[in-house]
Chain A
Amino acid sequence: MASTPPSAATPRGNQPKVVWWNDRRYRAILYQVLVLGGVFLLGWYLVNNTLTNLASRDIATGLGFLEREAGFDVSESPIEYSPADTYFRVLVVGVLNTLKVSIIGIILATIIGVIAGVARLSSNWLIAKFATFYVEGLRNVPVLLQLFFWYSLITEGLPSPRQAFNPITGVFLSNRGFGIPVPDWGGTMTAMLVALAAGILAAWGIARWARRRQEQTGQIFPSFRIGLALIIGLPLLAWLIGGAPTAMDAPELKGFNFQGGATLSPEFAALLIGLVFYTGTYIAEIVRGGILAVSHGQTEAGLALGLRKSLVMRLILLPQALRVIIPPLTSQYLNLTKNSSLAVAIGYPDLVSVANTSINQTGQAIEGVAIIMLVYLTVSLSISAFMNWYNRRIELKGGR
C-alpha cells in the first residue's frame, strides 16, 4: 500500500495532487456510502420478503388487532381483567405484571446483594465463607435453571393447601402459592400511608436544612435520628389516632384453596425468588468491588481526624464506594428487568408471555415482537436515565 494520504486537516495548496481514491476524506465518504447502502439494501430485502410472505399468508398488518377481544384468561392481574377484554388490555396487564416483579425484585436483590457483599468482606471467617459459598454457587448456574428449580420446589415440594406448611401464624406455604395476612384497617391504613409520605418529606427537608446550617455555622444537628423518628413516628401517630386497629385479614382454607389475605402465586414466587437470589450474587460482587476500591488509607485518615467509625463509613467510605458501585449496579437492574421475561418459561403472565399467546392467536408476529421490544427499550432507557442522573449527582465535581 502507498503511504498514508494527507489528513484532512493539512493545508493542501503546496502538496502534490493526490488521486481522489487515495484521499482519506473521499475514502471515508465512500466507506460510509457502502455501509449505509448495504444496510439499506438488506433492510429493503427483508421488508420486501416480509410483505410478500404476509400477502401470501393473508395476514393483515397493523395494530387493528389490539381492539379485538382477546378471549384468553391470565392467571393473575393487578387490574380487572376478563377474557372478554381487548388485546390492548391484556398487554397492559402483561406490562404491569412485568413491572411488578421487576420493581419488587430490584429492591429485594439490592438488600440481599448488599448484605452478601459486605458479609464477604467481614472479618468473621465463617460469615465470609457463607457469603462466598452463596455468591460462587448461584452465580455460575443459569438463571432459567434456578427458576425451574424454585418452581418445581413450590409446586411439587410443598404440600397441598389442606396440609399447608404453616411456619408463622397466618402465613401459609402450599403448592398453590403463599398466603400472607394483610392488615384490614380501612381508612387508618390510608392515613398511615399519608403520614409516612409526610414523614419522609419532612425528614428530607430537615436533612437539607441541617446540612446548610452546618456548612454556614459548623453546628451539627442530629438530622438522621430526628428524620428516622419522623418517618416511624408519624405513621405510628396516625395509627394511634385511628384507634390502634389490630384486625388482620388472614388467609383461610375454604374448599381447595385459601381465601382472603394476600396470595403470591407459585409462578410469581418462583420468579421473584429466582431473580432475586441470582441478581443478588452479582450485586454482592459489585458492592464488594466498590468497597475494596476505596483505599485503606482513607479509613485511617478518617480515624486519624478523630471521626467515629460510623461517621467514617458514612462520610468517607460510602460516598467514594458508591461512585464505583452505581454504574455496574444500573446494568444489574437492567439485567433483572430483562431476565423477568424468563417468566414465560414457568407461566407467569408477564409481557412476553401474554404477547406470545396473542401472537399465536392472531398471527400478528411482527406487531407483537415490536411491542415487546418497544416496552423493554422504554423501561431500559428509563432505568438508565434515572441511574445516570443519580450517578451524575454523586460523581466527583470537576474531576475530569
Chain B
Amino acid sequence: MTRRTETPGEISAREEEPTHVSLPPPKAPATTPLMAFDWAKKNLFSNIPNTILTLLCVWLLWETIPPLINWVLLSAVWSGGDPAICKAAEGACWAFIAEKHRFMLFGLYPFDEHWRPLLATALFVAVLATSCNPQFWRPWLLGLWAAMLVVCGTLMWGGVFGMTFVENARWGGLPLTLILSVVGIICSFPLAILLALGRRSDMPGIRAVCIGFIEFVRGVPLISVLFMASVMFPLFLPEGMTIDKLLRAQVEIIIFTAAYLAEAIRGGLQAIPQGQYEAADALGLTYWKKTYFIILPQALKISIPPIVNQFISMFKDTSLVIIIGLFDLLTTAKTALTDPPWRAFYVEAYLFAALIYWVFSFFMSRYSQYLERRLETGHRR
C-alpha cells in the first residue's frame, strides 16, 4: 500500500479545538444538611490554601453579585422608548432592546413583513429540534429538511401567494446568521468528505490537489478569504457577470469550513484499523461501496466531536461577514448602536446578541456530548 501514514501527533496537530465536548462534567454537591457540611469541608475547606481561596471567592461574589443583580433586574429600565429615562437610571436599559429588538433580529427586512423571517426561523428551529432525536433519522427527515428549506426560501424571498418580493440584500439579523450557517454546514459536509478521501487517496495527483487546497485555506485567516470574495471575485468573473454579496460570502464560508472539516474527518479515517480496509477489499467491494458501507460509518462516528466543534466555530465565524457589509446578527446589533441617543447602551446590545449566539453554540456542544454517548458502541476501549 502506498497510503501515507502519519504519527498520531501529526494528525492531532491539525485537529482544531479538540477538547470542546468530550470531557466529563464536574461532580455536583450533595443535598442533605449533614452531607452538605461534610461536602463543604471536603470541597471548600480541605486545607489552608483551599480555605483562603474559598474565602477570596466568596468575597469576590459578595462584591460582584448584588450590584450585578441590581443592574440587571432591580434598577433596570424595562420599557418606554425614552433614552433620557435610561440615562438617569442606575440599571441596565432593557428598554433599548425592547425598542430595537425587531431591527436586531431581522435587520433591514421590511418592518410590516417581519412575521415572515420570524416564521422561517421558528420553522427552522422546529425542524432542527426534530432532527436531534436519533429515532427520527430516517430518509423522510431529508425530505423534511428539503421541504423546510423550500418553505423558508419562499417565506424569505416572497413574490408568490400575495407576499411582496424581498431581495436578499435586505435580509438580515438572526435569519441571515442561521441561513449562512445551515447552508454552510449542508454544503461543506459532502465537499469535506471528498477532500478527506482525496487526501488519503492512492493517486498522487488527486492527493496533491486536496492537500494543496486544504493547507492553503487553513493557513490564511477567514477574513482575508472574505476580502478576496469582496475585492477579487468580481475580477475572476467574465465581464458583465456579477454575483450577489450573500452568495459570495456563502461560497467563502463553505470553502473555508470544508477545509477544516476535511481534517476532522481525516482524523477519523486514520483511526480506522487497516484490517477494515483489507476486509472490505477481500469481500470484493468497489472503492465507493467500501467507503460508503464500511469506512465512513465508522470514521464519521469517531469524528463527531471535532465535526461539531467545527460547526460551532463556523456558526460563530459567520459574524465575520460584517467585514463585507452583510447584516447578520452582530452587524444589526452594532448598527442599532449608531442611533445617537442610544449609543451609551452598548453593553445591553452586545449582551443580547451574545446570548443568542451562546444559546445556539452551547446547545450544539451539549448535543454532541449526548450523541457521542448514544453512538458509543464500544469502539474505544
Instruction: Answer whether A and B are interacting partners.
Output: yes
**Number of B residues, CB within 8 Å of A:** 74
Residues of B within 8 A of A341 (CB): 221, 223-224
A31 touches B9 (CB 8 A): no
Task: Tell me, yes or no, whether B248 is within 8 Å of chain A by CB.
Answer: no
Residues of B within 8 A of A120 (CB): 26
- CB-CB nearest in chain B for A351: B224
Task: Tell me, yes or no, whether A28 is within 8 Å of chain B by CB.
Answer: yes
A156-B346, A344-B323, A373-B220 known; A142+B13 contact, CB < 8 A:
no
Interface residues in A343-367 (C-beta closer than 8 Å to B): 344-345, 352, 356, 359, 365-366
Minimum CB–CB distance from B68 to chain A (whole Å) comes to 13
A53 touches B346 (CB 8 A): no
Task: Tell me, yes or no, whether A137 is within 8 Å of chain B by CB.
Answer: yes
Task: Tell me, yes or no, whether A240 is within 8 Å of chain B by CB.
Answer: no
**Number of A residues, CB within 8 Å of B:** 83
- CB-CB nearest in chain B for A137: B358
A127-B53, A289-B18, A352-B224 known; A32+B237 contact, CB < 8 A:
no
Interface residues in B193-226 (C-beta closer than 8 Å to A): 202-206, 209, 216, 218-224
Residues of A within 8 A of B330 (CB): 142, 144-145, 148
B9 touches A369 (CB 8 A): no
Minimum CB–CB distance from A215 to chain B (whole Å) comes to 26
- Summed over the interface, the residue pairs from A and B with CB atoms below 8 Å come to a total of 212
Minimum CB–CB distance from B184 to chain A (whole Å) comes to 15
Task: Tell me, yes or no, whether B372 is within 8 Å of chain A by CB.
Answer: no
Complexed CA–CA distance, A4 and B13 (Å): 36
Complexed CA–CA distance, A328 and B11 (Å): 10
Task: Tell me, yes or no, whether A188 is within 8 Å of chain B by CB.
Answer: no
Task: Tell me, yes or no, whether B245 is within 8 Å of chain A by CB.
Answer: no
Task: Tell me, yes or no, whether B246 is within 8 Å of chain A by CB.
Answer: no
Complexed CA–CA distance, A195 and B361 (Å): 49
Minimum CB–CB distance from B14 to chain A (whole Å) comes to 7
- CB-CB nearest in chain B for A144: B319
B235 touches A327 (CB 8 A): no
B220 touches A288 (CB 8 A): no
Task: Tell me, yes or no, whether A84 is within 8 Å of chain B by CB.
Answer: no
Write out, one digit per residue, whether chain B residues 48-66 have a CB within 8 A of any chain A CB (1) or not (0).
0010011001100000000
- CB-CB nearest in chain A for B55: A126
Residues of B within 8 A of A335 (CB): 16-17
Task: Tell me, yes or no, whether B74 is within 8 Å of chain A by CB.
Answer: no
A344 touches B43 (CB 8 A): no
- CB-CB nearest in chain A for B51: A124
Complexed CA–CA distance, A341 and B319 (Å): 14
Minimum CB–CB distance from A102 to chain B (whole Å) comes to 11
Task: Tell me, yes or no, whether B70 is within 8 Å of chain A by CB.
Answer: no
A28 touches B203 (CB 8 A): yes
Write out, one digit per residue, whether chain B residues 105-145 have a CB within 8 A of any chain A CB (1) or not (0).
00000000000000000000000000000000000000000
Minimum CB–CB distance from B71 to chain A (whole Å) comes to 13
A286-B19, A373-B224 known; A149+B206 contact, CB < 8 A:
no
A391 touches B224 (CB 8 A): no
Minimum CB–CB distance from B195 to chain A (whole Å) comes to 12
Write out, one digit per residue, whether chain A residues 132-169 have a CB within 8 A of any chain B CB (1) or not (0).
10001101111111101100110011000000000000
Minimum CB–CB distance from B189 to chain A (whole Å) comes to 20
Write out, one digit per residue, whether chain A residues 377-400 have a CB within 8 A of any chain B CB (1) or not (0).
100110010011001100100001
Write out, one digit per residue, whether chain A residues 25-46 have a CB within 8 A of any chain B CB (1) or not (0).
0001001110110010000001
A4-B286, A140-B357, A148-B334 known; A53+B235 contact, CB < 8 A:
yes
A327-B12, A344-B323 known; A142+B235 contact, CB < 8 A:
no
B205 touches A292 (CB 8 A): no
A128-B26, A136-B362, A373-B220 known; A142+B18 contact, CB < 8 A:
no
Minimum CB–CB distance from A42 to chain B (whole Å) comes to 10
Complexed CA–CA distance, A56 and B9 (Å): 51
A345 touches B236 (CB 8 A): no
A142-B330, A331-B13 known; A1+B286 contact, CB < 8 A:
yes
B235 touches A145 (CB 8 A): no
Complexed CA–CA distance, A372 and B222 (Å): 11
Of B10, B17, B223, B316, the residue contacting A352 (CB under 8 A) is: B223
Minimum CB–CB distance from A352 to chain B (whole Å) comes to 6
Task: Tell me, yes or no, whether A342 is within 8 Å of chain B by CB.
Answer: yes
Interface residues in B233-290 (C-beta closer than 8 Å to A): 234-239, 284-286
Write out, one digit per residue, whether chain B residues 11-37 have a CB within 8 A of any chain A CB (1) or not (0).
011111111100110100100000000
A289 touches B361 (CB 8 A): no
B316 touches A141 (CB 8 A): yes
Of A130, A332, A345, the residue contacting B323 (CB under 8 A) is: A345
A377 touches B227 (CB 8 A): no
Minimum CB–CB distance from A288 to chain B (whole Å) comes to 6
Complexed CA–CA distance, A118 and B84 (Å): 46
Interface residues in A244-283 (C-beta closer than 8 Å to B): 282
A126-B44, A128-B26 known; A289+B50 contact, CB < 8 A:
no
Interface residues in A159-182 (C-beta closer than 8 Å to B): none
Task: Tell me, yes or no, whether A125 is within 8 Å of chain B by CB.
Answer: yes
**Beyond the given A32-B205, A285-B23, could you list 6 further A-B residue pairs with CB under 8 A, ordered by the A residue number?**
A46-B236, A125-B44, A140-B361, A331-B17, A377-B216, A388-B10
Give me the 5 closest cross-chain CB pairs, A-B, nearest first. Answer: A32-B205, A140-B361, A289-B19, A327-B13, A338-B221
Show 19 A/B contacts (Cβ-Cβ < 8 Å), sorted by A: A28-B202, A124-B54, A127-B53, A127-B54, A140-B357, A140-B361, A140-B365, A141-B357, A141-B358, A144-B330, A149-B346, A149-B350, A152-B337, A152-B346, A289-B23, A328-B19, A331-B18, A377-B220, A388-B13
Chain A interface residues (CB < 8 Å from chain B): 1, 3-4, 28, 31-33, 35-36, 39, 46, 49-50, 52-54, 56, 120, 123-130, 132, 136-137, 139-146, 148-149, 152-153, 156-157, 282, 285-286, 288-289, 292, 323, 326-328, 330-332, 335, 338-339, 341-342, 344-345, 352, 356, 359, 365-366, 368-369, 372-373, 376-377, 380-381, 384, 387-388, 391-392, 395, 400
